[in-house]
Amino acid sequence: MTFKFTGPSAHRDDYRRVLDVSLPLVAGMASTTVMEFTDRIFVGNHSVAEVAAATPAGIAYFLPLSLFLGTVGYVSVFISQYRGAGMEGRIGSCLWQGLWLSLLAAVVMLGYSFCARPLFDLAGHGETIAAYERIYFRTLCLGAFFSLASSALSGYFSGMGRTRPVMVVNIIGMVVNIPLDYALINGIGPFPELGIFGAGLATVSASALIFILFAGLVLAREGGQGLGLTRWVPVPSLMKKVLHYGLPGGLHLFLDIFAFTFFVFLVGRLGETALAATNIALSINSLAFMPLYAFSSGTSVLVGNHLGGGELKKAESVTFASLHLALVYVLPLCALFLFAPEPLINLFAPAGGSPEAFAPVREAGVVCLRFVVVYLFFDTVGFVASGALSGAGDTRYIMWATLICAFTLMILPAGTGVLALGLGLTFAWCCPTVYIAGLCLATVARYINGPWRSMRLVETDTPPATKV
């Protein structure tokens, strides 16, 4: 089997199904992206040092969190396959395993918050930036449970193919977060001026609201549908299965974030201008990254559902449809980043600051965004292909491919070039671009030739999906 474009008319139903599942996820992820994007703008308007601290601290927080998010969020694939196989009575127990794992992971994140001082002292970003990094990092760690449990609950709705609640809840969280974020950072009305601490506090508050809304929807609307949602006790055998398949998926996300964490900390060695420009470029890149992650999640759900029902041809078809739609979303953004980078970068300029003082950051940011344009195409293809593999349960390959590509194509070359050879920002940005392209090729090769077509997560009497 090879990739080929067969045209929209050949897959009209598949485009509709992908849009039905993925578009609400894209909207939900977009709302999260808007929250993060406006958060960086508000922090940047408050202080250049704070915006330089926000991305390293945010990545250092998200690094271990991603391991747990990927693991607990994988319940969506189990739920989709159980649903496809007609075994709805096991769905509730899957959800509860994700919630129990969320609680355990939150305890780990609480302990991790005590590592703030040695972690950011090691980064060597200067005492002013390091102090801001510690504040933001600790605040986010203390509210990790809400993000983790929300991932499991949203995975339930995604796995059931009902992604509109995910969209609505995340949009509500965004609507609350943005004004609260601005007020807490700048001290508007009755709120004190808290700077970067206010940004973290607003993020945690929005996460708590999202968790409450998801939990309320499950309790109020889903309890009487024969899905086993009252089976709240831990089931060791099922939890072991979730960990067996979900943990490699979490490790894949962890390794990817680790590589970029290393990259951001490494760029910090090149000076505040390079670090600020990189942070701004990565924040702008999030306009594409989070929706692409939503397309990948939607692909996983649809592929899992079709494989659970023994429908391989439909699983392949929705993968192509998802790829086409993801490219339609990304290519206009690439054009915007390439032809109009300055207006986007200027959004991060400090309020009342000198344009001349911000000019070096703007010039470096334009260079960074050119690299973003190049790797976004590969990222799009890789995200969709990995989503299909994850929906089948082929998460270990994705984990190993990410590990090998991250270290050989990004971490080792970037570290050697910047630290040993004294190369600058342009070389540093070449490394993540090559890494993403290499990982994309490895993932696509596995999709074309790999064993995912015969894989199955759930125990049924239905034979593995076969090509028709």
The pLDDT tens digits of the residues spanning 270-308 come to 888 888 888 888 888 877 777 788 888 888 888 888 887
CB within 8 Å of 294: residues ≥ 6 apart: 22, 25, 26, 28, 29, 30
Of 439, 403, 430, 435, the C-alpha closest to 254 is: 403
Write phi, then psi, for 457 (nearest 5 degrees).
Answer: -90, -35
pLDDT of residue 226: 57
| Residue 22 structure tokens | 């993925």
How many CA atoms, within 13 angstroms, populate the side-chain half-sphere of residue 413?
Answer: 16
How far out from the chain centre does Cα 333 lie?
18
Contacts of 413 (CB under 8 A, 6+ apart): 431, 434
At residue 461 the predicted structure's pLDDT band, cuts being 50, 70 and 90, is very low
pLDDT in tens, 70-123: 888 888 888 887 877 777 677 777 888 889 999 999 999 999 988 888 888 877
Provide the whole-model pTM: 0.77
Round to whole Å and give the CA distance between 93 and 102.
Answer: 14
CB 458 within 8 A of CB 308: yes
Name the DSSP letter for residue 416: I
Highest mean pLDDT among 54-63, 392-401, 454-463: 392-401
Per-residue pLDDT tens over the stretch 173-216: 888 988 998 898 888 888 888 888 888 888 899 889 999 999 88
Query: For residue 354, what are its two tokens?
Result: 């000198």
